Amino acid sequence: MKNEERKNENETGEKNSKELPFEIDRRSVYKCVQCGTCRSVCPVFDAVGWESANTRGRMLIIKSLLEGRPPSEDVLPSLASCTTCGICAAKCPAGANPPEVVEAARAQLVKCGVTTEAQENLKSAVITYGNSFGDTKSRKHWLSETERSKLPEKSEYVYFVGCFDSYRYPEFAKKTFGILQRFGVTLLPDEQCCASPLLRTGFTEDAEKVMKHNLEQIRKVGAHTIITSCAGCYTTLKNNYPEELRVISLPEFLAEHLEELNLKKLDFTVTYHDPCHLGRHNKVYNAPRKVIQAICTLMEMKNIKENARCCGGGGGVRTGYPDISLELARTRLKDVPEGVDYIVTSCPLCVRNLRDAGGDIEVIDIVELVAMAIE
Ligand code: SF4
Ligand code: SF4
């Protein structure tokens, strides 16, 4: 909501939505003992240096909101700039989970009408067009009419494409589906955004509608397993959907089917960037490495797996704070070892952000590497 609109609401004498109570699980907030361990790992703090933009600062602000501070725009630079990378949770000696607390706080701020313009735009795009880009094209525009007409209506396996591959990297979608089709995988008749951008930015009620729609689509197809190549879709489908779904990431599926894929060896060396929402949040570390090592030589980055640094793209930060987001990506590129031919990752948002950071080494998705080994 824009400042002007909110100001007008006050002037009309109507009850201001900001007077809503700020409710959040107190135990999760008070777990933070303000030791400051997270100051040394928060990538946003590393990039901007404001005390309020490190994990401890965010936790203190949320505590103050719980204790009666009126929710206002003042808290947004702190609470809207967390990428939800989760490295603070992995390092916190008190067992706090700051990204979970930040997401819950964002949901409360949305209820109180305190949001950034970027968050509102993101929400409108998803609600109006079913995708986070506000793109008006068909979600399956990357398939020909004939290919679309031949899609099986029923299948045990569904490829959940996601907004990024549908609209920004249709070539990844084509390659992924080309591989998965060999295993009888189909697409949802009317897939919409997985709801990750809504959930990460606090629009939980809107997210519920989108999730309900996708669940109906999954039921329609009769699928028991969903395969996705986007780390954001993966964590959302697996951990946030109201029904327990069997969700497999593309690297896990590929690692399970290496023999059938009959991949050829390629004579180059790559490094691998762990997407936060695939790695740290869901512990998918070995599958992508197994796939890479079946094809070529893997040389690890400086900070990997649990310690991997964030690409800067998540949590709505790429949209809301593009400069900070790019700074994080540039920092991540400094972890790339010398002598590699490609940086491989398994999330289109990481591909996008790392590419935008403009390093010398090409960033590719794992499906591109696999496609090279198949062709
Ligand atoms: S979140 Fe954890 S690591 Fe950070 S200040 Fe609080 S207790 Fe310390
Ligand atoms: S989740 Fe990442 S960006 Fe957010 S507070 Fe923790 S370390 Fe910082």
Q: What is the CATH number of the domain that holds 277?
A: 3.40.50.1860
- Residue 362 in domain: yes
Q: Are residues 327 and 304 in the same domain?
A: yes
Closest-approaching ligand to the CA atom of 58: 2
Q: Are the CB atoms for 233 and 196 separated by under 8 Å?
A: yes
98 C-alpha to ligand 2 centroid (Å): 7
Q: Is position 126 within any domain?
A: no
Distance 305 CA to ligand 1 centre (A): 21
Structure confidence by residue, pLDDT tens digits, 277-295:
999 999 999 999 999 999 9
Instruction: Please report the pLDDT score of residue 18 as a whole number.
Output: 56
Of the residues 32, 51, 60, which should be mutated to test ligand 1's pocket, given the most ligand atoms within 8 Å of the CB?
A: 32
Q: Are 324 and 81 in contact (CB under 8 A)?
A: yes
Q: Which residues of the chain have a pLDDT value below 50? A: 1-17
Q: Are residue 102 and residue 12 in the same domain, yes or no?
A: yes
Q: Which residues line ligand 1 (CB under 6 A)?
A: 32-38, 55-56, 59, 88, 92, 94, 96, 98
78 CA to centre of ligand 1 in angstroms: 16
In angstroms, the CA 131 to CA 166 distance is 9
Residue 97 CA to ligand 2 centre (angstroms): 10
| 255, 275, 299 - which closes a domain | 255
Output the pLDDT for position 13: 39
Is 121 domain-assigned?
Answer: no
| Closest Cα to atom 4 of ligand 2 | 82
The number of beta carbons lying within 10 Å of the beta carbon of residue 181 is: 16
Domain count, the chain: 3
As a whole number of angstroms, the distance between CA 51 and CA 81 comes to: 12
Q: Which of 52, 55, 200, 311 to mutate to test the pocket of ligand 2 (most atoms within 8 A of CB)?
A: 55
Phi, psi of 55 (to 5 degrees): -55, -50
List the CATH number of the domain containing 55: 1.10.1060
Q: Is-contact 66 29, C-beta < 8 A?
A: yes
| C-alpha span between 133 and 42 (Å, rounded) | 28
What domain range is 248 assigned to? 133-255
Nearest ligand 2 atom to alpha carbon 83: 3
Say which CATH number the domain at 153 has.
Answer: 3.40.50
Distances (CA, A) of 330 to 43, 103, 336, 359: 11, 25, 11, 8
Give the mutation target among 44, 79, 200 for probing the ligand 2 site: most ligand atoms within 8 A of CB. 44
Identify whether residues 75 and 8 lie together within a single domain: yes
Q: Residue 137 domain-assigned?
A: yes
The answer to whether position 64 is within a domain reads yes
Same domain, 247 and 312: no
123 inside domain: no
Please check whether residue 127 lies inside any domain of the structure: no
Question: What pLDDT does 244 receive?
Answer: 82
